[in-house]
Amino acid sequence: MDTREPIYPAASARHALYDQHGYSPAMRSGDLLFVSGQVGSREDGSPEETYPEQVERALKNLEAVLDAAGCGFDDIIDVTSFRTDPDVQLPDFMSVKERYFPSRPFPAWTAVGVTWLAGFDLEVKVVARIPGK
């Protein structure tokens, strides 16, 4: 059996974006799922207009990839988030994040401030454990 298996969410226009940029939304290896950075992009690849909308959409895009692998937010063990203006964005980020990660145990989390995200203000990548593997 191949030790790496690409995971794609249900058919959507976003598949063309993955192919265009040459990466998989996620890779399964054993019982681990490595999810590529998810941004707040609509189906056509354009960003949501406001930062809170980008956070919401990025987490919904993440949810679609997790679902395709049989995972959910409770299966996430490590998160890395990249933000273009962390001090200003933190309150909006936290208000959305708390709906997706409402209670303990929280995943390990690293937040990184960056200057460029290809027109986006947030990117979220995760590692999750696939249940039942």
Q: Tell me the pLDDT tens digit for each residue of 1-23.
A: 458 999 999 877 677 778 888 89
Of 62, 38, 37, 52, the residue nearest 96 (C-alpha):
52
Per-residue model confidence as pLDDT tens digits over 50-76? 999 999 999 999 999 999 999 999 999
Per-residue model confidence (pLDDT) at position 40: 95
CB 123 within 8 A of CB 58: yes
Task: Note the pLDDT tens digit of each residue in 80-113.
Answer: 999 999 999 999 999 999 999 999 999 999 999 9
For the chain, percent of residues with pLDDT exceeding 90: 84
- CA dist list (Å): 18 to 31, 77, 92, 102, 104: 23, 24, 28, 30, 33
**What confidence score (pLDDT) does residue 117 get?**
95
Q: Provide the sign of the torsion angle of the four alpha carbons 63, 97, 109, 81, taken in this order.
A: positive
CATH of domain 5-129: 3.30.1330.40
Question: What type of residue sits at position 39?
Answer: V
Radius of gyration for the chain, computed over Cα atoms and rounded to the nearest angstrom: 14
> 44 pLDDT band (50/70/90 cuts)?
confident
